[in-house]
Amino acid sequence: EDVRVVEATLKGRKNRRVGNRATLKIELAVLLFLNSLAEEARVKAFEEKSATIRAQHINAVTKKMLKRARG
């Protein structure tokens, strides 16, 4: 199902052709990013002594994670 979302997003751009392997690599990169985002949010929640990851924890680490992902 995740592959379909990536494919639909990429196919909406008619001027770009993307192969099957590239689609899978893009999906893997997105999943790895989301996994690391969830891990950082978990750490942030733990620092604030919260047992639940809330939107505020995700928002707090999103900017840092995006900077790190860009390089």
* Residues 38-63: tens digit of each pLDDT: 999 999 999 999 999 999 999 999 98
Q: List Cβ neighbours of 64 (8 Å cut-off, separation of 6 or more).
A: 40
Using alpha carbons, list the distances in angstroms from residue 70 to 1, 26, 46, 51, 67: 26, 15, 26, 30, 5
Domains with residue ranges and CATH for the chain: 2-70 (1.10.20.10)
Residue 19, helix vs strand vs coil: coil
* Residues 5-21: tens digit of each pLDDT: 777 777 776 677 777 78
Whole-prediction pTM: 0.72
Q: List Cβ neighbours of 24 (8 Å cut-off, separation of 6 or more).
A: 3
